[in-house]
């Protein structure tokens, strides 16, 4: 699938002049990873449909004055195997009368009417009703060329693994005349044509919808994606294409001639761009889609419930779950899981007949495999009986697994989007999230400090996140603290996926506070930390994140390792002065064990990216820095409060030269990664990286043998040299895969 995508994007017919740009490169790297884990061949997917039929959905609200032209353009199509589903979205003019008059003359037309629900919900209803193998939608404003359906169907049949094709169009005015010199991908100038880029690799990473209104996609793809987002009014199509692009293959038509006329007039949504904030609000969609792609790759939870008759299929699916890095749950695990109302991200597979397991999280995606009772599941699939049921049917287990994964994650994401767009009222001023995976020597002191704050107990809650849910000792520890401090709202939840970012996000989704404060299990909070954190955000609606001081406690035996150059490698963060100030630049961003964020803003960006941050005993980080960059993308500022302090009691075992070496190396590699992934400014180039490497090498030579500085600068030099190697590999890849 990916090889064909590359073949189309980069082509072989014409010599290419430009390499991939960084936006295209970022997306293609994502596609490679997704395709490697979850290959999905639509040729092997069979959904209930009428083969060869095209379903055209036409949502319309008060479009009576122009509706006839649009309907007529569909009826005049040279490709005649279609159905036209007109949905009267609560019109108050003669839209319904006009629609019904056409339906009376042509049996291919169906007319549905409803109260006004706006385009996203209307489209979703239309495509639920659609029966065709191929789908498209148009509007009362627009007009299809007579061969539009024929040419688009031909493209789909010539490229059977492609989920969607899009083509070029022209702009017309209110009277149907060509609108020239509009400046929107117009070629030639003055032609009225809109000639879109011929690949979609920038669609998700650069805020510009390059698909347009001339498109067609498969019903199988629509079944994966589900509904158009009701939260993306005016951007619903862009959002839909982004999801399609993330999971499946999109292709520009092989022909360039425009086959669709897009009407630009005072009443069109495009003309109301400024009024409706369509372009202005794209940044929110781009930020959420960045999270969405992280979600498409991150581990989720699976449980397979099968009888002995289906044991072979169950074992096959378990192997695929494990191979892709997901978390497979045993039955007894459910007694120890507690999500606290946050997203469970769980897929429950019931294979064969029999009673479903009880006690599942309420938001679990329930999938029936080879079952007769479809009503009990979110959807059902089958490996047998193609064309004989309403289930989705597949040619092999890999296709079934990838389909279930993609469809389920879309459903999960839509529920998460609802949490973001319809937040519940905050019940606390502050939610304090403490994440851990074990009972450490400092955990009790850490928790005691959190329970003995000067802030009023009714103003805050403590959320204890176990990142090792099978360890009963952690739950017992929290229960003891709840009994000791009954006046404090202390909550215990689990984060089954390993990694600090997963645990932090689990706390974020259940937080009842306006602000979320993250502390580490080896930090001891000053008694005023809660109060100072609340104070930082008061009256500063523009503040997205705020960090406080993290002051390292240095063991006597580590005095030779810790100096002004190395102290930051143990997450020491000292803030000069007193009180609150805004960060000067990204070099001033906070991090570590005293990091707070406005809860609604943090949810808007999807929280911490799960492909960043510490997992187990690795030395990677950067998740807080990434959050700060994302906050700036949604127009929030970054702050620092010198009066908010925690003591950082790092395990003495971490004061080693190995820690210095690996942390210094990982830190530079993370900085490179943040730039490569287009989060940080692109202020590194080969020259200044080489200068950094040379400077580090010079410092290493000047340092004493076996000293901490020697280890530090040697590791830094090695990292910068490796960055040069990686940049060269990236550049060679970009040259090899040139864009059209």
Confidence bin at 141 (pLDDT 50/70/90):
very high
Domain 40-276 fold is Spore Coat Polysaccharide Biosynthesis Protein SpsA; Chain A (3.90.550)
Query: Over 80: is that where the pLDDT of 664 sits?
Result: yes
The per-residue pLDDT for range 209-257, each reduced to its tens digit, is 999 999 999 999 999 999 999 999 999 999 999 999 999 999 999 999 9
156 vs 136: CA distance, rounded Å: 12
Residue 12 has pLDDT above 60, yes or no: no
> pLDDT tens, 81-126?
999 999 999 999 999 999 999 999 999 999 999 999 999 999 999 9
pTM passes above 0.85: yes
346-351 and 365-369 strand pairing: parallel
Percent with pLDDT over 70 in the chain = 94
Which CATH fold topology does 298-420 show? Rossmann fold (3.40.50)
The encoded tokens of residue 167 equal 């083509």
| pLDDT score of 266 | 57
**Alpha carbon distances (Å) from 569 to 425, 435, 708:** 39, 20, 11
Instruction: Please enumerate, as own/partner, the contacts of 21-26 that have beta carbons within 8 Å and a separation of 24 or more.
Output: 21/202, 21/739, 22/676, 22/678, 22/682, 23/201, 23/202, 23/205, 23/206, 23/678, 24/199, 24/201, 24/202, 24/205, 24/739, 25/730, 25/733, 25/734, 26/205, 26/676, 26/677, 26/678
- The whole-angstrom separation of Cα 70 and Cα 86 is 11
**Which residues, including other chains, have CB under 8 Å from residue 701's CB and lie 6 or more apart?**
none
Do residues 269 and 234 make contact, with C-beta atoms less than 8 angstroms apart? yes
Helix axes 282-297, 236-247, angle to 10 degrees: 20
What is Dmax (Cα atoms) for the chain? 92
Cβ atoms within 10 A of the Cβ of 372, count?
10
The pLDDT value recorded for residue 617 is 66
Q: Which of 476, 490, 463, 648 is nearest to 562 (CA)?
A: 648
| Among the listed residues 316, 201, 194, the one whose alpha carbon sits nearest the alpha carbon of residue 260 | 194
pLDDT at 279 over 90: no
Write out pLDDT tens, residues 691-718.
999 999 999 999 999 999 999 999 999 9
Q: Quick one: average pLDDT of 638-652?
A: 97
Q: Where in the chain is the domain with CATH 3.90.550.10?
A: 40-276, 423-650
pLDDT band at 291 (very low <50, low <70, confident <90, very high): very high
Over the stretch 152-187, which tens digit does the pLDDT of each residue have? 999 999 999 999 999 999 999 998 999 999 989 999
Q: Average pLDDT in the 664-687 region?
A: 96
How high is the mean pLDDT of the chain?
93
- The set of residues, in sequence order, having a beta carbon less than 8 Å from that of 640 and lying 6+ positions away, is 546, 547, 548, 575, 580, 581, 582, 583, 588, 590
pLDDT tier for residue 627 given thresholds of 50, 70 and 90: very high
Alpha carbon of residue 710 to chain centroid: 41
Instruction: Please give the CATH number for the structural domain made up of 423-650.
Output: 3.90.550.10
Decide if 27 contacts 289 (C-beta within 8 A): no
Give residue 18's pLDDT. 65
pLDDT at position 386, please? 53
**Does 276 have pLDDT greater than 50?**
no
Q: How many angstroms separate the CA atoms of 148 and 683, rounded?
A: 46
pLDDT at 199 over 70: yes
Is 60 exceeded by the pLDDT of residue 421?
A: yes
Tell whether the model's pLDDT for residue 7 goes beyond 80: no
Distance of CA 175 to the CA centre of its chain: 41
Residue 543 parent element (H or E): strand 543-552
């Amino acid at each position: 699938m990916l090889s064909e995508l590359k073949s189309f994007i980069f082509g072989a017919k014409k010599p290419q002049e430009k390499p991939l740009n960084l936006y295209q490169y970022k997306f293609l790297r994502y596609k490679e990873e997704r395709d490697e884990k979850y290959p999905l061949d639509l040729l092997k997917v069979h959904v209930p449909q009428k083969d060869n039929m095209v379903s055209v959905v036409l949502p319309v609200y008060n479009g009576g004055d122009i509706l006839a032209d649009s309907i007529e353009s569909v009826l005049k199509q040279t490709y005649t195997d279609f159905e036209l589903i007109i949905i009267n979205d609560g019109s108050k003019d003669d839209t319904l009368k006009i629609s019904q008059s056409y339906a009376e003359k042509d049996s291919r037309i169906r007319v549905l009417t409803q109260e006004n629900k706006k385009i996203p919900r209307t489209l979703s209803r239309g495509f639920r009703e659609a029966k065709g193998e191929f789908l498209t939608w148009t509007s009362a404003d627009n007009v299809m060329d007579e061969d539009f359906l024929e040419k688009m169907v031909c493209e789909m049949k010539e490229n059977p693994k492609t989920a969607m094709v899009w083509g070029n169009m022209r702009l017309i005015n209110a009277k149907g005349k060509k609108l020239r010199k509009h400046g929107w991908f117009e070629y030639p100038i003055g032609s009225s044509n809109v000639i879109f880029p011929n690949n979609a690799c920038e669609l998700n990473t650069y805020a510009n919808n390059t698909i347009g209104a001339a498109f067609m996609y498969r019903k199988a793809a629509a079944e994966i994606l589900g509904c158009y987002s009701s939260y993306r009014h005016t951007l619903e199509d862009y959002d839909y294409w982004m999801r399609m692009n993330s999971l499946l293959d999109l292709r520009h038509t092989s022909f360039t001639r425009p086959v669709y006329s897009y009407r630009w007039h005072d009443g069109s949504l495009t003309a109301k761009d400024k009024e409706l904030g369509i372009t202005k609000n794209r940044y929110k969609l781009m930020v959420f889609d960045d999270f969405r792609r992280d979600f498409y790759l991150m581990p989720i939870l699976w449980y397979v419930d099968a009888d002995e008759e289906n044991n072979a299929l169950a074992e096959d699916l378990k192997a695929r779950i494990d191979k892709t890095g997901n978390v497979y749950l045993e039955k007894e695990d459910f007694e120890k899981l507690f999500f606290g109302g946050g997203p469970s991200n769980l897929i429950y597979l019931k294979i064969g007949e029999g009673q479903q397991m009880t006690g599942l999280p309420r938001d679990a995606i329930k999938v029936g495999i080879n079952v007769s009772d479809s009503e009990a599941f979110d959807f059902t699939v089958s490996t047998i009986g193609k064309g004989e049921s309403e289930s989705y049917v597949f040619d092999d287990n890999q296709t079934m697994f990838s389909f279930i994964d993609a469809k389920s994650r879309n459903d999960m994401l839509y529920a998460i989007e609802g949490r973001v767009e319809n937040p519940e009222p905050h019940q606390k001023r502050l939610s304090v999230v403490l994440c851990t995976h074990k009972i450490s020597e400092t955990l009790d002191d850490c928790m005691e400090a959190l329970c003995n704050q000067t802030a009023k107990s009714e103003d805050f809650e403590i959320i204890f996140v176990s990142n090792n849910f099978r360890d009963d000792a952690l739950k017992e520890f929290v229960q003891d603290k709840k009994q000791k401090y009954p006046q404090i709202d202390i909550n215990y939840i689990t984060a089954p996926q390993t990694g600090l970012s997963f645990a932090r996000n689990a706390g974020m989704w259940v937080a009842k506070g306006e602000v979320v404060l993250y502390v580490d299990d080896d930090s001891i909070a000053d008694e005023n930390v809660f109060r100072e954190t609340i104070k930082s955000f008061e009256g500063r609606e523009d503040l997205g994140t705020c960090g406080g001081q993290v002051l390292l406690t240095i063991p006597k035996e580590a005095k030779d390792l810790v100096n002004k150059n190395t102290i930051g490698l143990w997450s020491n963060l000292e803030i000069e002065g007193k009180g609150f100030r805004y960060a000067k630049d990204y070099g001033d961003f906070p991090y570590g064990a005293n990091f707070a964020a406005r809860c609604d803003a943090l949810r808007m960006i999807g929280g911490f990216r799960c492909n960043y941050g510490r997992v187990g005993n690795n030395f990677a980080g950067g998740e807080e820095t990434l959050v700060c960059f994302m906050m700036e993308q949604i127009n929030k500022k970054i702050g620092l409060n010198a009066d908010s302090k925690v003591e950082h009691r790092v395990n003495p075992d971490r004061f080693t030269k190995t820690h210095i070496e690996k942390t210094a190396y990982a830190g530079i590699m993370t900085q490179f990664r943040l730039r490569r992934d287009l989060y940080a400014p692109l202020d590194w180039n080969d020259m200044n990286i080489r200068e950094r490497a040379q400077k580090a090498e010079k410092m290493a030579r000047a340092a004493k043998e076996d000293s901490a500085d020697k280890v530090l600068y040697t590791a830094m030099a090695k990292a910068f040299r490796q960055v040069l190697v990686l940049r060269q590999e990236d550049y060679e890849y970009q040259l090899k895969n040139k864009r059209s």
